[in-house]
């Protein structure tokens, strides 16, 4: 039987699509940059070839490696238009956009939309924020990006309904793929505790870039009661101040947290690790954490990489009920507490610290569920999504209907 060019191309692309990423990228210090690097690495292991167009803030310059083949200053429309020929050059099968409000310039993100109007290859857009109550401009922005995208990727099943109910986006256009997380590599936590200088401590930890909205003040306010019951407990706040927060406010928030800990008598039990931690350092601290805590105040947060890391690492988790926590932490995988309530945090800590059997059950449940969050699984689902939507694009160009009569979507 003779194989058509479209069929032959489709089989090749299913194995090894050529993906061009657009978004923040390392060494820029932000969660999206880390996510993009990890997703690229996972996709590469599954046979994809990947390159990057990196987004820069105004006046920002980074020493990118050879994975980055172009960069865009977010407020310069001419930079966006200058990469159109590169995107459409035939070197790439699909454009993967990492979308977050605020990293693409122009009013209502119109610079990115102008770029998309000229793109001639399929576009898979990963939505890192999906708001239930967007401004009119945000709704228009996301709807326009969705219109120009072949498929959308979200990392929270609840986001599929939000996109349908709030933005009127057909769920068939949306693929849910978990936020990835690295596998545990630390085999001897007690030795690691000695290396980190915390062998006689039980640890509650929170990690990530620090700024108002993280709710860390309520976690600190919970510590006097926790320490009264468990004097060996220490709260580790892992991470530096968010660069945008530092630019606008300096270290005001961190210094306020330190002053609060001193004022309420728990300064010795609140440890600030003021640095942008490597993945290996994060995993080391997570591995020795008895509880992982996310006391965030924004209940619309649809994706949290820190939460995904902690769950895949098997940590017992306490969290406020923001969207990603509501999605991940059911069936005994965590304790949800009301936001802005330090007493609720201290009570939840007691439920785990005072009941080792419950903590052990939660650890086992999280390890088991977390297997589907590991990067190899996520990378395979993402590559499938890219390849299948490239196939769908080829079939449309050739005037051939796909077997299922609709775009083929990866899911997790």
Q: What does the alpha-carbon distance between residue 208 and residue 102 come to, in Å, rounded to a whole number?
A: 19
Q: How far is CA 365 from the centre of its chain?
A: 21
Q: Is residue 408 part of a domain?
A: no
Give 247 or 264, the one with higher predicted confidence. Answer: 264
Statement to judge: residues 15 and 98 lie in one domain: yes
Beta strands in 6-99 (DSSP E): 18-23, 49-56, 68-73, 94-99
Statement to judge: residues 10 and 107 lie in one domain: yes
pLDDT of 8 higher than 80: no
* DSSP per position, 211-268: -TTS-HHHHHHHHHHHHHH-TTEEEEEESPBPHHHHHHHTTHHHHHHHHHHHHTT-GG
- What is the pTM (predicted TM-score) of this model? 0.89
Taking the CA atoms of 337, 338, 341 and 344 in sequence, report the sign of the dihedral they define. negative
Looking at residue 402, what is its pLDDT? 36
Looking at residue 12, what is its pLDDT? 45
Please name the residues in contact with 76: beta carbons below 8 A apart, sequence gap of 6 or more: 105, 111
Q: Give the chain's mean pLDDT.
A: 90
Q: Is residue 412 part of a domain?
A: no
Q: What does the alpha-carbon distance between residue 169 and residue 308 come to, in Å, rounded to a whole number?
A: 26
Q: Is residue 407 part of a domain?
A: no
Statement to judge: residues 101 and 194 lie in one domain: no
Looking at residue 3, what is its pLDDT? 33
Q: Which domain holds residue 41?
A: 5-180+374-398
- Asked, as a colleague might, if the bond just before 27 is cis with ω within 30 of 0, I would say yes
Q: Is residue 406 part of a domain?
A: no
Phi/psi region, residue 31 (left: phi>0; alpha: psi -120 to 50; beta: rest), is: alpha
pLDDT of 292 higher than 70: yes
Q: What does the alpha-carbon distance between residue 392 and residue 394 come to, in Å, rounded to a whole number?
A: 5
Give yes or no for a contact between 349 and 342, defined as CB atoms under 8 angstroms apart.
Answer: no
pLDDT classification of 191: cutoffs 50, 70, 90: confident
pLDDT of 407 higher than 60: no
Statement to judge: residues 119 and 132 lie in one domain: yes
Statement to judge: residues 69 and 142 lie in one domain: yes
What is the number of domains present in the chain?
A: 2
CATH at 28: 3.40.50.2000
Statement to judge: residues 230 and 163 lie in one domain: no
pLDDT classification of 280: cutoffs 50, 70, 90: confident
pLDDT classification of 193: cutoffs 50, 70, 90: confident
Which helix (H) or strand (E) segment holds residue 46: the answer is none
Statement to judge: residues 331 and 255 lie in one domain: yes
- pLDDT tens for residues 110-169? 999 999 999 999 999 999 999 999 999 999 999 999 999 999 999 999 999 999 999 999
Q: Is residue 403 part of a domain?
A: no
Q: Is residue 410 part of a domain?
A: no
Looking at residue 326, what is its pLDDT? 97
Looking at residue 2, what is its pLDDT? 35
pLDDT classification of 186: cutoffs 50, 70, 90: low
Statement to judge: residues 269 and 330 lie in one domain: yes
In the chain, pLDDT over 90 holds for what percent of residues?
Answer: 79
């Amino acid at each position: 039987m003779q194989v058509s060019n479209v069929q032959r191309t489709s089989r090749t692309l299913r194995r090894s699509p050529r993906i061009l990423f657009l978004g923040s990228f390392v060494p820029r210090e932000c969660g999206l940059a880390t996510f993009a690097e990890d997703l690229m690495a996972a996709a590469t292991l599954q046979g994809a070839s990947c390159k990057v167009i990196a987004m820069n803030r105004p006046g920002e310059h980074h020493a990118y490696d050879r994975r980055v083949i172009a960069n865009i200053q977010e407020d310069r429309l001419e930079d966006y238009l200058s990469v159109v020929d590169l995107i459409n050059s035939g070197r790439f099968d699909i454009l993967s956009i990492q979308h977050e409000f605020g990293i693409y310039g122009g009013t209502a993100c119109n610079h990115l939309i102008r770029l998309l109007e000229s793109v001639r290859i399929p576009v898979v857009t990963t939505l890192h924020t999906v708001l239930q109550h967007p401004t009119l401009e945000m709704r228009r922005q996301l709807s326009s990006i969705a219109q120009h995208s072949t498929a959308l990727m979200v990392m929270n099943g609840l986001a599929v309904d939000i996109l349908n109910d709030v933005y009127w986006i057909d769920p068939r256009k949306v693929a849910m793929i978990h936020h990835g997380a690295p596998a545990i590599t630390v085999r001897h936590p007690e030795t690691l505790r000695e290396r980190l200088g915390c062998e006689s401590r039980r640890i509650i930890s929170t990690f990530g870039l620090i700024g108002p909205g993280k709710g860390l003040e309520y976690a600190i306010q919970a510590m006097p009661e926790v320490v009264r019951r468990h004097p060996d407990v220490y709260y580790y706040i892992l991470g530096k101040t968010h660069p945008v927060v530092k630019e606008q406010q300096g270290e005001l928030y961190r210094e306020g947290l330190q002053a609060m800990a001193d004022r309420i008598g728990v300064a010795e039990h609140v440890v600030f690790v003021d640095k942008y931690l490597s993945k290996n350092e994060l995993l080391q601290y997570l591995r020795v954490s008895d509880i992982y805590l996310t006391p965030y105040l924004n209940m619309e947060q649809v994706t949290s990489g820190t939460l995904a890391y902690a769950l895949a690492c098997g940590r017992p988790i306490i969290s406020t009920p923001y969207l990603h926590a509501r999605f991940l932490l059911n069936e005994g995988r965590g304790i949800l507490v009301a936001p802005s309530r330090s007493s609720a945090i201290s009570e939840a800590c007691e439920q785990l610290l005072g009941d080792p059997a419950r903590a052990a059950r939660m650890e086992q449940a999280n390890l088991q569920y977390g297997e589907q969050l590991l990067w190899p699984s996520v990378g395979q689902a993402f590559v499938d999504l890219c390849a299948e939507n490239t196939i769908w694009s080829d079939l449309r160009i050739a005037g051939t209907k796909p077997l299922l009569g609709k775009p083929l979507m990866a899911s997790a």
